[in-house]
């Protein structure tokens, strides 16, 4: 009989991360055997053996990573330091622990950070563990407000980040023998979800997973070489969560379509169009700097589905692009029609003036450095794009259906086409190109229209958001 063989040996010969990913899924499947996972607990148990119930020496000796030339800052000092930002407070006693891969929580002025600061007024404490790799984050521990702390894992590889996040939460949130958080949230069902599940299981806390992107679209797997392994972990994570939250009805339907057993505890997070935050946000991307060859930038943001009508946008912009080489079209998004759209660009002969960008965490920065937005989508999931553009005074060409036709007025606050009409797009682009004053007037009228029509009771939204989170308790 042939000798037994390590089941991972053939995979690790190709890619060491494959062995780690397979082992990760095995650990998740153990469920109740969590306390025996040596790879996660060996360093933590060594520290816990040295500290008493009344003290937390490991926490006090933990040192944050700071830029060269600065004094070292103890993690305890970051926790008790003066907050970077001031907040209001109507908070209750619930304390959150959030695991995320969203680096924009660190960026001053970003939408993610603003929302976190605003949520801080509704919870007693918010601890955010950012799963990052070495060199991605400058500081390991930051006190953002009086009750919000940010921690970074600074892992040596993507697959180690979930283990490091688990360790970080143990080191930073165990005080006097007790675990600080009441609810554990993962902002993705992958590395963040694995870390959140293990920590929630160890301390018997409710565990909630947020699904904020369509992980079931075919292109998701192709977007990152590690996404295949992430998709293998996701069902295990979702199965063990007490609650699942999505940021749209579309995503909720996608989750329940693939996991019907989760339908009863899957909800859509409350929606709020934070016009003021969009308007005042400091941009992190400048398209004019990224594409200096373009003097005039047409922006198109798309989910690249049949209802997005990106092909019609291309046909409408193509005559202008061929006529003026300094005009560029920036297409942002991912979706099932991506390959067909790229082929259409080649067929139209405009490839040198069309740039593709993946869908970022926020599109406001792109809007603030573009000259006009073309949006022909009939998908209500993409309505936010119109409101974002209007809030930041970006001139709009859209269809007369959906939210654009409801809030904006053709010829005053936007150019509205009768359906996905390429000829209308081409004609209206020429109008905007040749009339700077018209673009300015349309943009100001659109901003005024959305601020008048869109409800801005942000506290009502935050209260509803808190209720959705707390229903997991």
- 197-250 tens-digit pLDDT: 999 999 999 999 999 888 887 778 877 888 899 999 999 999 999 999 998 887
89 pLDDT more than 50: no
Q: How far apart are CA 334 and CA 108, in angstroms?
A: 27
Q: How far apart are CA 195 and CA 168, in angstroms?
A: 10
Dump pLDDT digits (tens) for 417-469.
Answer: 999 999 999 999 999 998 889 999 999 999 999 999 887 777 888 888 888 88
Q: Is residue 202 part of a domain?
A: yes
What's the average model confidence in pLDDT over 160-165?
Answer: 91
pLDDT of residue 24: 60
- 257 shares its domain with 284: no
Helix, strand and coil percent figures for the chain, each rounded to 5? 50, 15, 35
Examine the fold and report which residue of 232, 250, 273 is the final residue of a domain before the chain moves on: 273
pLDDT of residue 196: 95
313 pLDDT more than 90: yes
> Which one, of 181, 196, 25, 170, lies nearest residue 99 by Cα?
196
Higher-confidence position of 74 and 122: 122
Higher-confidence position of 171 and 390: 390
290 pLDDT more than 90: yes
The share of the chain scoring above pLDDT 70, in percent, equals 79
For the entire predicted model, the pTM comes to: 0.65
The per-residue DSSP string of 253-277 comes to HHHHHH-GGGGGGEEEPPP---HHH
Instruction: Report the half-sphere exposure of 420 (CA within 13 A, side-chain side).
Output: 15
- How far out from the chain centre does Cα 115 lie? 12
Dump pLDDT digits (tens) for 238-270.
Answer: 999 999 999 888 789 889 999 999 999 999 888
> Which one, of 68, 58, 122, lies nearest residue 94 by Cα?
122
Q: How confident is the model at residue 369 (pLDDT cuts 50, 70, 90)?
A: very high
Here the CATH number for the domain that contains residue 323 is 3.40.50.2000
Query: What residues are paired with 301 via a beta bridge?
Result: 332
pLDDT of residue 52: 36
Q: Is residue 370 part of a domain?
A: yes
Domain that holds residue 415: 277-453
Which range has the worst mean pLDDT, 26-35, 52-61, 284-293?
A: 52-61
pLDDT of residue 23: 59
Q: Is residue 6 part of a domain?
A: no
Whole-angstrom CA distances from 333 to 95, 299, 369, 443 are 35, 11, 17, 23
- 264 shares its domain with 310: no
- 230 shares its domain with 310: no
129 pLDDT more than 60: yes
Task: Show the beta-strand stretches assigned E in 203-302.
Answer: 207-211, 243-246, 266-268, 296-301
Residue tagged 């959150």 (tokens): 96
- 294 shares its domain with 336: yes
Q: How far apart are CA 210 and CA 201, in angstroms?
A: 17
Q: How far apart are CA 92 and CA 90, in angstroms?
A: 7
pLDDT of residue 269: 87
55 pLDDT more than 50: no
**168 burial level (CB within 10 Å; 0-12, 13-18, 19+):** buried
Q: Is residue 471 part of a domain?
A: no
415 pLDDT more than 80: yes
274 pLDDT more than 80: yes
- 247 shares its domain with 348: no
Q: How far apart are CA 355 and CA 446, in angstroms?
A: 27
Which range has the worst mean pLDDT, 8-22, 64-78, 234-248, 399-413?
A: 64-78
- 254 shares its domain with 300: no
């Amino acid at each position: 009989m042939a000798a037994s063989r390590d089941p991972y040996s053939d995979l690790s010969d190709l890619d060491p991360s494959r062995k780690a990913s397979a082992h990760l899924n095995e650990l998740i499947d153990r469920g109740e055997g969590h306390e025996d996972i040596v790879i996660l607990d060996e360093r933590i148990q060594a520290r816990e053996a040295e500290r008493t119930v009344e003290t937390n020496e490991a926490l006090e000796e933990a040192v944050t990573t700071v830029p060269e030339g600065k004094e070292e800052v103890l993690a305890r000092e970051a926790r008790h330091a003066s907050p970077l930002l001031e907040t209001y407070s109507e908070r209750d006693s619930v304390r959150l622990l959030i695991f995320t891969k969203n680096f924009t929580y660190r960026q001053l002025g970003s939408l993610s950070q603003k929302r976190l600061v605003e949520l801080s007024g509704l919870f007693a404490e918010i601890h955010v563990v950012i799963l990052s790799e070495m060199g991605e984050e400058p500081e390991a521990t930051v006190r953002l407000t009086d009750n919000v702390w940010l921690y970074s894992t600074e892992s040596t590889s993507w697959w180690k980040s979930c283990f490091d996040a688990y360790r970080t939460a143990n080191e930073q949130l165990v005080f006097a023998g007790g675990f600080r958080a009441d609810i554990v949230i993962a902002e993705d069902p992958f590395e963040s979800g694995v870390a959140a599940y293990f920590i929630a299981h160890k301390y018997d806390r409710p565990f909630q997973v947020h699904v904020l992107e369509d992980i079931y679209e075919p292109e998701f797997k192709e977007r990152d070489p590690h996404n295949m392994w992430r998709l293998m972990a996701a069902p295990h994570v979702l199965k063990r969560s007490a609650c699942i939250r999505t940021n749209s009805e579309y995503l909720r339907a996608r989750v329940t379509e693939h996991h019907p057993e989760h339908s009863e505890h899957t909800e859509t997070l409350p929606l709020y169009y934070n016009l003021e935050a969009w308007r005042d946000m400091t941009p992190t991307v400048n398209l004019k700097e990224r594409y200096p060859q373009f003097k005039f930038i047409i922006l198109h943001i798309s989910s690249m589905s049949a209802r997005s009508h990106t092909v019609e946008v291309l046909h409408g912009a193509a005559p202008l692009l061929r006529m003026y080489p300094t005009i560029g079209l920036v297409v942002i998004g991912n979706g099932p029609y991506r390959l067909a759209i790229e082929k259409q660009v080649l067929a139209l002969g405009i490839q040198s003036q069309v740039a593709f960008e993946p869908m970022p965490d926020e599109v406001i920065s792109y809007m603030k450095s573009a000259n006009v937005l073309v949006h022909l989508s009939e998908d209500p999931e993409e309505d936010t794009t119109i409101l974002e553009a209007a809030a930041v005074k970006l001139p709009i060409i859209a269809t007369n259906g959906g939210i654009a036709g409801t809030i904006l007025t053709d010829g005053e606050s936007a150019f509205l086409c009768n359906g996905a009409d390429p000829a209308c797009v081409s004609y209206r682009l020429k109008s905007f190109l040749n009339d700077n004053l018209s673009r300015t007037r349309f943009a100001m009228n659109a901003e005024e229209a959305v601020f008048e029509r869109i409800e801005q009771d942000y506290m009502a939204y935050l209260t509803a958001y808190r209720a959705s989170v707390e229903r997991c308790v």
